[in-house]
Amino acid sequence: HPDLILLDLMMPQKSGIALLSDLKKDDALKEIPVIMVTGVSSETGIDLEAFFKKGATGDSERNALKPEGYIEKPVDPQKLLKLVKKALS
């Protein structure tokens, strides 16, 4: 199993959120840290942090799916490195 998953929010076959849900339901994979990579929030104004917060959504299942971090495209290498270190610590 991988130590960390970088997961794009928008993919051609399945959304990143749907795949994240599948990962978190799988006992063998649910503990692997996931960092979401997206260009969506800058294009649409969607606040991913608010999207996954239970308080903002009232949806505890969505809160359980919260990834360990988020990064927007274009990816800043220093920010990505910081997120990876935090997720793996």
pTM of model > 0.85:
no
d(C-alpha 62, C-alpha 21), whole Å: 9
CATH number of residue 56's parent domain: 3.40.50.2300
> Model confidence over 53-85: pLDDT tens digits?
654 445 555 556 788 988 888 899 999 999 999
* Long-range contacts, stretch 47-50, CB < 8 angstroms, 24+ apart: 48/9
As for how many domains the chain has, the answer is: 1
Domain range holding 66? 5-88
Q: How do residues 3-21 score in pLDDT, each as one tens digit? A: 999 999 888 898 888 899 8
